[in-house]
Amino acid sequence: MLSTSRRLLASTASRCLSTSASGAITVNEDLPNVYHVKLNRPTKLNTFTLDMWKELKVVIDGLGEEPKCRSIIVSGEGKSFCAGIDLAAGMSNIINIFKNDDLDIGRKARSLRRILTIIQDSLTSLEKCPKPVIAAVHSHCLGAGIDLITSADIRYASQDVTFSIKEVDIGLAADIGTLNRIQKVVGNDSWTREVCFTARDFGADEALKYGLVSRIFDSQEHLLEKSLEVAALIAAKSPIAVQGTKETLNYARDHSTHDSLNFVKTWNMSQLLSTDLVNSATAALKKEKATYANV
């Protein structure tokens, strides 16, 4: 029996329709094996509600399981990529807990923890997804928008983007990914702390300079075109090799060199036995392009 996420995906990606009743996330197969996930609440600048976070996880988990999917682009529909949490609808779940007189303080705290777990797991789904995820960011990328992209594998932006790690401005220490990942993404601790403490805006050039993004493009159109091109390039490679590479890079980031060398040799004990190695070597010798079965 198909899992919920696979069923949702099967009913949506193939028809290029949104993935849920709310329609807050859409999925298209833009090119063969390349899936495009769009945040789709443009009138609210793609701000996140709890339901939208839940839907994002269902979609990304579904793509992780979908053999045809080899690479993923995440972008935002409309004027902005993402202006963070929906300060009205997204905060209401939390405010309802504060106001619930049936809950004592210990139970309120546990309810809050459950919500934070749902949101963290939603964003972590990009990191855990075996397929590489490219975040293509334009206009606003604030608060929860940065939590989202720091969980992606590759970050590109258009020149018009404004970033802000904005959580301190709404009275909280960011708790759904940015503070836990950004030092592994950006190499400059002083700059990282400055933008986290001040919540100040910064643009594409600064993001590129400090390594939050790796490429910037003059327009959103160009951004999406290039993101698609890179996603297609990845999708044409051996999925065994690409997915093993993501798994190993993630493992190496969080473990010692010794441990990750051990990890990769154990991983490749089985993965080198796939036909992809021989296919690739044979094609290279014949100066031909190898093709690969889905995983």
Ligand X SMILES: CCC/C=C/C=C/C(=O)SCCNC(=O)CCNC(=O)[C@H](O)C(C)(C)COP(=O)(O)OP(=O)(O)OC[C@H]1O[C@@H](n2cnc3c(N)ncnc32)[C@H](O)[C@@H]1OP(=O)(O)O
Rounded to whole angstroms, the Cα distance separating 209 from 188 reads 10
Instruction: Give the CA dihedral 244, 250, 251, 257, nearest 10 degrees.
Output: 100
Asked if 40 interacts with ligand X (CB under 6 A), we say no
- Piece of 58-66, 139-147, 244-252, 255-263 that binds ligand X (CB under 6 A): 139-147
Reduce the secondary structure of 172-201 to three states and give it as a string: CCCCCCHHHHHHHHCCCHHHHHHHHHHCCC
Give the one residue of 95, 170, 272, 293 binding ligand X; rule: CB under 6 A. 170
- Piece of 141-149, 208-216, 234-242, 244-252 that binds ligand X (CB under 6 A): 141-149
Rounded to whole angstroms, the Cα distance separating 54 from 217 reads 31
Give the one residue of 56, 123, 176, 264 binding ligand X; rule: CB under 6 A. 176
Rounded to whole angstroms, the Cα distance separating 271 from 234 reads 18
* 28 C-beta neighbours (distance < 10 Å), count: 18
Asked if 39 interacts with ligand X (CB under 6 A), we say no
| C-beta of residue 123 within 8 angstroms of C-beta of residue 147 | yes
Give the one residue of 45, 136, 141, 185 binding ligand X; rule: CB under 6 A. 45
Eight-class DSSP state of 46: T
Give the one residue of 62, 64, 76, 84 binding ligand X; rule: CB under 6 A. 84
Give the one residue of 62, 64, 76, 143 binding ligand X; rule: CB under 6 A. 143
x-or-dash pattern for ligand X, window 86-125, by CB under 6 A? xxx-----x------------------------x------
Q: Give the DSSP per-residue string, 238-274.
A: -HHHHHHHHHHHHHHHHS-HHHHHHHHHHHHHHHTTS
Closest approach of ligand X to the CB of residue 117, in Å: 11
Give the one residue of 25, 126, 135, 144 binding ligand X; rule: CB under 6 A. 144
Tracing tokens 């793509």 back to the chain, one arrives at 63
* 96/294 with CB nearer ligand X: 96
Cβ-closest residue to ligand X? 143
* 109/272 with CB nearer ligand X: 109
- Piece of 9-17, 102-110, 129-137, 164-172 that binds ligand X (CB under 6 A): 164-172
The helix/strand/coil state of 277 is helix
Contact positions toward ligand X, by CB under 6 A?
44-45, 47, 83-88, 94, 119, 140, 142-144, 166-167, 170, 175-176
